[in-house]
Structure 1
């Protein structure tokens, strides 16, 4: 029942239609490229040229609409080169099945590895493989295949050309979007005063990765945006630590001050996103500065100043000032210098080349699945004369686009694509009934392609409805195929989707099984980071900012993977076999965020002067290191750890160190009191996580 319930739940998710659309200007460019391809076919009176150019423009157009991180021309060039190259390769291996299938397997494996760089690069890799299958399967011969590949390349070239058309928007649009989303998330968290929302790593990771893509020669001009990333980190820490006493101590005043901070952050977000200044009213700044002046807390006093600096950087990032070369602000050491993109990408992919990696397993599964689907598609491609005989690309295409590294996405996409193909087959059948003139055919083809572009991000159901209608309509009229071809394509889609789901279930990559390893990995990072911070309280400036920044970046990335795995595990039928229940996993996720928040506070209050030092705190580094090491092993299932051990060691440390007495000392009492409070909160958070990890499900499972 659990398996059937999971399939039904994910099936409903796959049939859901979302209101998410690409940028209208990007959609318009993609539609224009398809229109130009159709016009080219009409002018040449060559249906094959028009169809293949339309296919090239259509597939590459989809690639340009998928969450671009680089400049749109760079995205289009990369997609055009990859798709044209695979189409040429497919034409060269046409008719040699013994060579085509291994080449297809290698191409699919490479596309699977591209998932290392994100969902959009992974899908773009799969789209490139489609070019290989189209010419290898549909071309009547090698020469005809080369001609088809040439027209496909022409269509991809049209996509590149239309990217040069206005509107252009501000420079570094992708980086602006990521930074604007980061500041918007801070604004929302400021309004809700939610510490978990403030600690979410995804917006920071996205902004860091987007900026890290900039080449070395363009980074000086973008220094203001690097500074905005650093200030976002400092603002987040201030929001986590701020307490507004005095005249705004009441709940109403506190909400007003947080709302003012949210408004400033929102204005910064809009300025960065649009490249045009969005000024914050003077009364908002007055409220913030009054609150800061009345607060004895350093972070609260700094909040208004940090918001001022971020606002200045946002204005410096607008179009008319972006060329100003600024010194990069601190808090992002190493990022401004950066690692060359090719080196960094190769390093990330190389790190996945081991059997335990879910990305590697996904790539192998994709390669095997696509080859099996191609063989099955060639075996049934005729569908008793209704389909395209001896061609299996549609089954293989569906299998490739349905298979994802995660169970939930694979099942949902399988249901959505199958349902969309059936509806698309019905619509394509209706469109095949009347006679179409060449001009009418071109117009209808462009309209159907436009519908596919508009619904690209609304869900698999709507996308595949229009996609199936478009491709069947095009193939039917260009190739002179019988009307029931629509149902053959729908049947191919159902077979390909079912095959993808079956292959995943035979060789799964369960997020539930990855959770212990991810949690242990995150704890190992904390085992290095927390002692580093605690020893930093011995003297002002003793902590190496580059080291702590690198460790905190690692912590954020691992925590992002952990949170994603927790979310994915809820959809899995194997979840009941995991180490922790659904409620315990949510508890662990919350507790991890709490520990991360404590780490942020410890980092924020590192001593800046001799009066801020608390050298006694360094004594806590060793017991915390030992406990976190043992807890990492316990999370991985290697041993057990008893809750309370760290608390006992901490209580003994506090009693022995005399910190409580030092907290009443006038000269350094405030710093000591704060250090005791922060270390107590950290120990409490680690102990709470310890208790949840120790309550692994198999230790308390009731007898059957």
Structure 2
């Protein structure tokens, strides 16, 4: 993709308006907190108190709407504490510019590292740092800054209080949402063409992370949901088996029935109320399983029955009593404490090669530079707030992302929204508002910002700019054209963010070779371990296999994200593969992962199921994957067909091809042979795509 086409695509993305909204009850709570803060200002007849409490309630309210994974009260309390503490810190360093800039740099760096936890936590960190900028820039002195910080804390406290009001919804709402999305993705994948959709790791990772956040004391009560996560993994494996080993003809109606069941499970888990699947769907599934000679349909029907029972039990008020004590529920009592896990994830990013670390450094430099530039600009000839640069700095912080596409799209969307918002705010500043009218308009504008929070940067920043400029204009007694100063600050801040990214970029395209090599190194250990397991019952270490699978999922999720982000970059010439080839790699990686899943699912359970001949493939496969990992990083070349040649010689010598369904072998042996053939085919297809980089003569630094 060239620069011009990249800019066109990103500009279109930045102006796109999405139909994505937070939960109505969450939006209503956020609006109510701003309403209470505004009423407090009217009752006290103190415009500054009302405005600052509204700002605290508004920022903290946004934090509660950003993909909450923890309980709403916990989210609100954490956001309130962070924002209020930063506001107090900003008031304390207000009088010393160099100290404020130093603290700002450290806070921005920490926020950049916090991006490790995800997009929503990263934005919450940015919102907290805004509290530091507000009091450090707007406070007349330390005492005045502490007063402002106090009213901000009151506003954030109101957000915490309104989270305690009904309606409360089902228990473990965030975990239910993640599991519902997971089962819905399985429902869609079960009727999709091919099996590529079954390889998506993101829904499983999101559900696992949501459940991992539950404290140990709450986990027994969530036993059914932990069981649903385990069953989702088994259902995916059963669907893989069905698609690979069962003829496609006549299966579509049965798979559609399975999708119906999975959809009903998703709705049951999400709502906490049972959604029954019609008996016709179950009859069709069980009839299909009864007549099939293969184990896949029987496993799928049994797993769906278990998942349905767990979903029904998850609606029980006494969740902790719904499972038998001996029931095995993965992750129920295991897991690292949340604080230790967070520290470990952040510690893993503390090296110069990490894109998150480079983003953190870039964010610290960019925010400080934007603050200095904002203060140097002054008041735009009397239209703005003289010697205050926080609006430029906060725009830079909210625009600058680790990815090129997100950074440019957010910069363009926020700038366009700020200009439109400035125009609207200027129109609203023309009438002479009464205090009550001012309060009503401010609440309406805040509500519009909450509603459009997830619809895109254009709509969000339009209402956000209108609200904040309207508030500052009437509280601070500034001239009407102040709206244009805020719009100009936004444009400058967005331009600074984009320029800094282009000066020191982190291209996702250039991350793909390293991530692919890392994933292949995991497969280099996983696939030989699984093939060794066919030598004898129990020859494979289940704990080692589970650890390798977990690592494979993590790396594959990062790889898929990097491939997705690379499509927006004008840096295709910098990478070893084209966009089409990157999509092929993503699909082929998913296929290899599916083969590994099936090899593990069908490990021998009795001595009659063993296929010791397959262990001869361990060394050739290990050597091939080792060389392929080096080739993906640009260190050497691997010719396609080498592994296929070894496999053909092996099958000809061992006579295993006669064990396929066309031959005379047992069902278990033929299934193992089919899985090994599919694995070799998948690895060879990936080898051919990786080798295309060398035929094009493109080498990327490892």
Q: What's the TM-score once normalised by structure 2's chain length?
A: 0.97
Q: Deviations over 1:607-664 (max 9, x none)?
A: 1112111111112111111110110011011111111111111122222333235568
Q: Deviations over 1:576-600 (max 9, x none)?
A: 2210111111111111111111111
Contact 2:534 2:615 in 1 (8 A): yes
Does 1:159 pair with 2:159?
A: yes
Q: Partners in 2 of 1:566 and 1:328 — Cα distance?
A: 44
Does 1:4 pair with 2:1?
A: no
Q: Partners in 1 of 2:176 and 2:377 — Cα distance?
A: 49
Q: What is the match of residue 627 of structure 1?
A: 624
The worse-fitting range, judged by mean Cα deviation, of 303-312 and 601-610 is 601-610
Q: What is the match of residue 133 of structure 1?
A: 133
Does 1:296 pair with 2:293?
A: yes
**1:660–1:153 CA distance, 2 compared to 1 (3 A):** same
Contact 1:228 1:313 in 2 (8 A): yes
Q: What is the match of residue 170 of structure 1?
A: 170
Contact 1:223 1:327 in 2 (8 A): no
Contact 1:93 1:100 in 2 (8 A): yes
1:523, distance to aligned residue in structure 2 (A): 0.4
Q: Partners in 1 of 2:56 and 2:696 — Cα distance?
A: 57
Q: Partners in 2 of 1:61 and 1:696 — Cα distance?
A: 49
Q: What is the match of residue 655 of structure 2?
A: 658
Contact 1:421 1:468 in 2 (8 A): yes
Q: Partners in 2 of 1:515 and 1:330 — Cα distance?
A: 41
Q: Which runs of 5+ in 2 are unaligned?
A: none
**1:393–1:44 CA distance, 2 compared to 1 (3 A):** same
Contact 2:245 2:671 in 1 (8 A): no
1:67, distance to aligned residue in structure 2 (A): 0.3
Q: Partners in 2 of 1:333 and 1:530 — Cα distance?
A: 23
Q: What is the match of residue 28 of structure 1?
A: 28
1:328, distance to aligned residue in structure 2 (A): 8.5
Q: Partners in 1 of 2:295 and 2:600 — Cα distance?
A: 13
Contact 2:195 2:243 in 1 (8 A): no
Contact 1:183 1:266 in 2 (8 A): yes
Q: Partners in 2 of 1:548 and 1:16 — Cα distance?
A: 43
**1:205–1:461 CA distance, 2 compared to 1 (3 A):** same
Q: What is the match of residue 116 of structure 2?
A: 116
Does 1:448 pair with 2:458?
A: no
**1:595–1:169 CA distance, 2 compared to 1 (3 A):** same
Does 1:616 pair with 2:577?
A: no
**1:142–1:618 CA distance, 2 compared to 1 (3 A):** same
Moved over 3 A (4+): 243-246, 327-336, 660-668, 697-702
Query: Which one of the candidate residues 501, 521, 525 is aligned to 1:524?
Result: 521
Q: What is the match of residue 432 of structure 2?
A: 435
Contact 1:263 1:280 in 2 (8 A): yes
Q: What is the match of residue 335 of structure 2?
A: 338
Q: Partners in 1 of 2:641 and 2:200 — Cα distance?
A: 28
Contact 1:243 1:295 in 2 (8 A): no
Q: What is the match of residue 216 of structure 1?
A: 216
Contact 1:223 1:326 in 2 (8 A): yes
Does 1:323 pair with 2:320?
A: yes
State the SS of the aligned residue for 1:423: helix
Q: Partners in 2 of 1:331 and 1:367 — Cα distance?
A: 47
The worse-fitting range, judged by mean Cα deviation, of 98-107 and 319-328 is 319-328
The worse-fitting range, judged by mean Cα deviation, of 576-585 and 347-356 is 576-585
Contact 2:90 2:134 in 1 (8 A): yes
State the SS of the aligned residue for 1:549: helix
Does 1:207 pair with 2:229?
A: no
Query: Which one of the candidate residues 669, 672, 678 is aligned to 1:672?
Result: 669
Q: What is the match of residue 538 of structure 1?
A: 535
Q: What is the match of residue 56 of structure 1?
A: 56
- Number of positions where the alignment pairs a residue of Structure 1 with one of Structure 2: 699
Q: Partners in 2 of 1:665 and 1:23 — Cα distance?
A: 55
Q: Deviations over 1:404-423 (max 9, x none)?
A: 00000000000000000000
**1:325–1:287 CA distance, 2 compared to 1 (3 A):** closer
Q: Partners in 2 of 1:274 and 1:624 — Cα distance?
A: 47
Q: Partners in 2 of 1:471 and 1:327 — Cα distance?
A: 55
Q: Partners in 2 of 1:250 and 1:648 — Cα distance?
A: 29
1:602, distance to aligned residue in structure 2 (A): 0.8
Q: Partners in 1 of 2:180 and 2:378 — Cα distance?
A: 48
Contact 1:221 1:326 in 2 (8 A): no
State the SS of the aligned residue for 2:167: coil
Q: Partners in 2 of 1:664 and 1:438 — Cα distance?
A: 82
Q: Deviations over 1:259-304 (max 9, x none)?
A: 1101110110011001111111112111111110111111211111
1:335, distance to aligned residue in structure 2 (A): 6.2
Q: What is the match of residue 143 of structure 2?
A: 143
**1:545–1:440 CA distance, 2 compared to 1 (3 A):** same
The worse-fitting range, judged by mean Cα deviation, of 640-649 and 445-454 is 640-649
Does 1:314 pair with 2:316?
A: no
Q: Partners in 2 of 1:31 and 1:245 — Cα distance?
A: 54
**1:615–1:328 CA distance, 2 compared to 1 (3 A):** farther
Q: What is the match of residue 480 of structure 1?
A: 477
Q: Which runs of 5+ in 1 are unaligned?
A: none
1:570, distance to aligned residue in structure 2 (A): 1.1
Contact 1:230 1:330 in 2 (8 A): no
Q: Partners in 2 of 1:437 and 1:329 — Cα distance?
A: 67
**1:683–1:131 CA distance, 2 compared to 1 (3 A):** same
Q: What is the match of residue 188 of structure 2?
A: 188
**1:152–1:405 CA distance, 2 compared to 1 (3 A):** same
Does 1:271 pair with 2:255?
A: no
State the SS of the aligned residue for 1:443: helix
1:386, distance to aligned residue in structure 2 (A): 0.8
1:244, distance to aligned residue in structure 2 (A): 11
Q: Partners in 1 of 2:253 and 2:671 — Cα distance?
A: 26
Q: Partners in 1 of 2:82 and 2:508 — Cα distance?
A: 31
Contact 1:223 1:328 in 2 (8 A): no
Q: Partners in 1 of 2:662 and 2:430 — Cα distance?
A: 90
Q: Partners in 1 of 2:368 and 2:326 — Cα distance?
A: 51
Q: Deviations over 1:15-68 (max 9, x none)?
A: 111111000000000000000000000000000000000000000000000000
Q: What's the TM-score once normalised by structure 1's chain length?
A: 0.97
Contact 2:425 2:469 in 1 (8 A): yes
Q: Partners in 1 of 2:18 and 2:614 — Cα distance?
A: 51
Contact 2:313 2:322 in 1 (8 A): no
Contact 1:245 1:294 in 2 (8 A): no
Q: Partners in 2 of 1:204 and 1:623 — Cα distance?
A: 32
Contact 2:224 2:311 in 1 (8 A): yes
Q: Partners in 2 of 1:636 and 1:681 — Cα distance?
A: 25
Query: Which one of the candidate residues 392, 396, 420 is aligned to 2:417?
Result: 420
The worse-fitting range, judged by mean Cα deviation, of 498-507 and 323-332 is 323-332
1:157, distance to aligned residue in structure 2 (A): 0.3
The worse-fitting range, judged by mean Cα deviation, of 547-556 and 504-513 is 547-556
Q: Deviations over 1:227-269 (max 9, x none)?
A: 10110011111111116999xx784x42211111011101100
Query: Which one of the candidate residues 569, 591, 594 is aligned to 2:591?
Result: 594
**1:701–1:128 CA distance, 2 compared to 1 (3 A):** closer
Q: Partners in 1 of 2:135 and 2:245 — Cα distance?
A: 70
Superposition CA RMSD, Å:
1.9
State the SS of the aligned residue for 2:12: helix
**1:689–1:443 CA distance, 2 compared to 1 (3 A):** same
Q: Partners in 2 of 1:144 and 1:197 — Cα distance?
A: 57
Q: Partners in 1 of 2:406 and 2:549 — Cα distance?
A: 30
Q: Partners in 1 of 2:255 and 2:663 — Cα distance?
A: 31
Contact 1:237 1:601 in 2 (8 A): yes
